[in-house]
Structure 1
């Protein structure tokens, strides 16, 4: 955490921004098209031009989709006599400058691709930019590039494509070097870090040097990939602002992998989290369904992403066994966006007490996907969500209330009685907040652990809101290709009742960075209560526990 404090100090005084001179920042997340999700590392000049023309013909450029990026596979397997990267002539006969001129002629932006390693991703011999940062930045500048996506393959070796463990593989140094090189050229170029969210403190070191920063391993063509990435982006609200955005990876809308409802969920979640909206499907009506194009072209949802405040929505409630979440974000014009997210394969009944969850007594609501005004809502808002539905509500004319839950006491993990494998760790004055200590190794199996709190006070009986302070940095890296979820499961039982399970997302940038999950737990009685935390999954650890607050 000392490293994090140093980064924050340097960023605050401007000493961690080596590219402050000309490195381009945009006021809103980038929107555009990238060749990788559909064409993999096999793009060519005709493909890029046809899809760029498709954006314009379909009117997507007028919605903001202006950045067209040729991803991996564009260059030859050698540098020329002056050490510069070369566009492979068999697929890009006109070269980079001509391609950039073509895109600019359509009113679009020209995005290029390289990486901070020896080779590009998806290849064994196509050179990337490690140790050639200045030369390559000048090439990008001369071609008229407007943005650079900077990947992370072959970071420490010219034989190992993906390395998520070596110190050099997760270090920010290579990205800072390229950011500085881009800042030294005459043309403003947007820098997009694609480091996959590995290593510590990405939210600290990346925003000062880049417009956006990939927070996860690659998105896959399946629903569980949406869940995985959603659980990793949660803590980045602390670092998101105009010109600094968490990149949840390119959109799979239109690739035939998700249902219509899932595509709208995917697009809506990326929008309210302020991720760049980079289309991965062909921008051609013959290759992409009209339903998918309508999702990608929904102007109201796009407006949520492009809101001038640039604030990421926050996870404010999780109902794990019921499998739905509540996300809330602040919009310009004193408005709020609410996301009710149903992760279940079946329908679920969602119910939100506006006062206790949102701190408001009433508001004027609009259902964004339905394009329907709902009028004034107050009290409790209820909605039956379809399988894998994300309902988006925009609230205006918001009347706030003071009738929100009040704290009835805080209990630190060090106050608990520990059993099994559970063990206390003392943290520094800037770690494991607010208790500066945590309980870890809360495991199942032969070393089953329990973290028991006795004498937990409640004024009344029934269900209580708990704010659970936890630490989870079990990020899905290699496991993301299979079953990684970025969650750790923990059960909570009150007064001996049947334990109930919650999935805890990533909490921050390391194993000492605390997050809070707001949950509702039943079984309390007036007076003293016993609350027990355990791991929920056999053979797997629960998140580390810092403490919890009870609200009445």
Structure 2
């Protein structure tokens, strides 16, 4: 991880934010110790990073999360530590961490109080209204990074829960901009990680201006469905990320015992190629964290994908919902591409991937990253064997990129025949290219398109679906929220096939595109395509679709 304080080299910056050219890596106390850190815990885990070799792989920021401050500020208004939990104090803790060759991470929040594990009577100081003095305090303590949380957002009404997914403020960026500016004013480089949970609109627009990383989702949980939820929420941010500006998919749960070994590799691999910070949430202790989990965290080849100097987030290229797998792809340095083949289903399967569809045209040699071996040359197609809940990571040389030589045929959603509750809505520039959409796709509703082109060959076609889904799982993240909306598509009366549509970005008026393959097309402009909602939950809003013939 390369850290620089930059203001001029990256022209999109709004302030002189300290940037890590690659995603930050480290250890955080929250996932295992919750809001109950203490000096012994932090020191022992800092030492564990060194002892286990984790620091040599790149995990070098040690952060005590919520629970460290005193309930009160000092007589002169300075934030301070709880002396019972940290008897040596934070300057001394920072010196200990620095003495190990590591960086000292700090935690505060953009509210009146910081996040706590219960809902009353425990109010620990955060930084709203104290940004300048707290930034200077963190600098004098030797702080190298700051995770900045979002509890008690701009209010002190203790009758309202400290986590508010619908704050009354008009512009949440103001609170985070204040601390970003304050950190820029101190005589120390401090990495700023925004932890706003993906609440509200335009997070990908404003957060990169003020922070090195920004949280896109509610907290990760120790279960498999949480991985699906967060990966679906990460999809649209590829348009906002790059060197020095990275999404944060939350602290890793590798080593906490909730996921299987294959699921832990899936989780770690998807975080790595998405260019999320790799922050260990399990104890850096071989007696508390399984050897297999530590081996995952220590895998230098997977870490190298995360730390690749291009800083490019892998994007969802194809989704095969009924088959249960996705294909992600992204460019990495050395004229190479990483492909993630993610099997969400419980069962093992073999899948055939047309590599031209992921942007690789000529033959070459494939590297299986987890297996640490070459699996030989390919010639335009590849068969991949997947265990249940396995994500293969493959590296391929890229000698030519696929381009479409023929413009697709495009069909605006509002030109279809609408049945049921579905209705058309004008939304202007917010849902280009059509300026309109159909919404309220409830069960029993449908949109039917006639005279759809099947080209000169018919058969299977690539369909690019423009849709809108901002049904973000915030409060529902704790139950069954998935961040997805579903459609079924049927061609010429064939059996409908279901597709799960991830978050599309920005707000309800910003489109995303999902490319899928559908078969059953006839030659020429004689085809019928029907879109329906397959279940009790409404489908996504439909803007239109392109058929590549």
TM-score (norm 1): 0.94
Q: SS of the residue aligned with 2:101?
A: coil
2:151: which partner in 1? Answer: 153
- Counterpart position of 1:546: 543
Q: Deviations over 1:226-251 (max 9, x none)?
A: 00000000011111111100000000
Whether 1:495 and 2:492 are equivalent positions in the alignment is yes
Whether contact under 8 Å (2:359, 2:401) holds in the other structure is no
Residues 245-288 of structure 1, C-alpha deviations (whole Å, 9 max, x = no match): 00000000000010000000000000000000000000011111
Distance 1:401 1:133, change over 3 A: closer
> Shift of residue 417 of structure 1?
1.3
Within 1, Cα distance between the matches of 2:405 and 2:387?
Answer: 30
Contact 1:155 1:169 (8 Å CA) reproduced: no
State the match for 1:452 in structure 2: 448
2:85 pairs with one of 72, 85, 91: 91
Deviation at 1:405, TM superposition (A): 7.5
- Residue 275 of structure 1 corresponds to 276
Which residues of 2 match residues 228-377 of structure 1 at below 5 A? 228-377=229-378
Give the deviation of 1:363 after TM superposition.
Answer: 2.2
1:410 matched to which residue of 2?
A: 410
Aligned to 1:25, the other structure's residue is in SS state strand
Q: Of the candidates 29, 33, 39, which is equivalent to residue 35 of structure 1?
A: 29
Whether the 8 Å CA contact 1:456–1:531 is kept in 2: the answer is: yes
Task: Tell me which residue corresponds to 2:4.
Answer: none
Aligned 8 A contact 2:235 2:502 in 1: yes
Whether the aligned pair in 2 keeps the contact of 1:450 and 1:534 (CA below 8 Å) is yes
1:349 Cα deviation (Å)? 2.2
Question: Given the alignment of the two structures, is residue 476 of structure 1 paired with residue 477 of structure 2, yes or no?
Answer: no
CA distance in 2, matches of 1:467, 1:522: 14
User: How far, CA to CA, are the matches of 2:484 and 2:401 in structure 1?
Assistant: 33
2:140 maps to 142
How far, CA to CA, are the matches of 1:319 and 1:411 in structure 2?
Answer: 22
1:297-353 deviation per Cα after TM superposition (whole angstroms, max 9, x unaligned): 000000000000000001000000001000001001110000000000111222111
Q: Which residue in 2 is equivalent to 1:4?
A: none
SS of alignment partner, residue 50 of structure 1: helix
CA contact (8 A) 2:350 2:385 kept: yes
Q: Is the 8 A contact 2:215 2:250 kept in 1?
A: yes
Query: What residue number does 1:9 align with?
Result: none
The alpha-carbon deviation at position 414 of structure 1 amounts to 2.1
Q: Is the 8 A contact 1:213 1:246 kept in 2?
A: yes
Unpaired runs of 5+ in structure 2? 1-9
Distance 1:257 1:170 in 2: 37
* Secondary structure at 1:400 match in 2: coil
Shift of 1:399: 3.0
Measured in 1, the distance between the counterparts of 2:244 and 2:529 equals: 43
User: Partner of 2:6 in structure 1?
Assistant: none
Does structure 1 retain, via aligned residues, the 8 Å contact 2:329–2:358? Answer: no
Cα separation, 1, equivalents of 2:277 and 2:101: 19
Structure 1 residue corresponding to 2:532, chosen from 517, 531, 534: 534
Question: Relative to structure 2, which stretch is displaced further, 53-62 or 359-368?
Answer: 359-368
Of 89, 104, 113, the residue aligned with 1:110 is 104
Alignment partner, residue 434 of structure 1? 433
2:521 is matched with 524
Say what the alpha-carbon RMSD is for the aligned residues. Answer: 1.5
For these two proteins, the number of residue pairs brought into alignment is 532
Corresponding position of 1:187: 188
CA deviation string 1:347-366 (max 9, x = no partner): 12221111233341322210
Q: Is the 8 A contact 1:342 1:386 kept in 2?
A: yes
Which residue is 2:7 aligned to?
Answer: none
2-structure distance, mates of 1:87, 1:24: 25
Within 1, Cα distance between the matches of 2:184 and 2:435?
Answer: 39
**Cα 1:232–1:403, aligned 2, differ >3 Å: closer, same or farther?**
closer
Q: Which residue in 2 is equivalent to 1:422?
A: 422
Q: Aligned partners of 1:512, 1:324: CA distance in 2, in Å? A: 28
User: How far apart are 1:463 and its partner, in Å?
Assistant: 1.5
The 3 A distance-change label for structure 1 pair 402 and 103 is closer
CA distance 1:208–1:402, change in 2 (3 Å): closer
Q: CA deviation at 1:407?
A: 3.9
Cα separation, partners in 2 of 1:550 and 1:36, compared to 1, 3 Å: same
Query: Helix, strand or coil for the counterpart of 1:110?
Result: strand
**How big is the shift at 1:169?**
8.0
SS at match of 1:167: coil
Q: Give structure 1 stretches of 5+ with no counterpart.
A: 1-11
Inter-partner Cα distance in structure 1 for 2:298 and 2:400: 33
State the alpha-carbon separation in 2 of the partners of residues 81 and 257 from structure 1.
45
Partner residue, 2:3: none
1:66 aligns with 2:60: yes
Q: Post-superposition shift, 1:433?
A: 1.8
C-alpha distance in 2, partners of 1:64/1:13?
A: 27
d(CA) in 2 for partners of 1:476 and 1:88? Answer: 34
Q: TM-score, normalised by structure 2?
A: 0.95
Cα distance, 1:461 vs structure 2: 2.6
2:518 aligned counterpart, secondary structure: strand
Query: Could you tell me whether the CA contact under 8 Å between 1:407 and 1:549 is conserved in 2?
Result: no
Matches of 1:353 and 1:263, distance apart in 2: 27
- 2:358 alignment partner, SS class: helix
What are the Cα deviations for residues 529-548 of structure 1, in whole angstroms up to 9, with x where unaligned?
1101111212x111111111
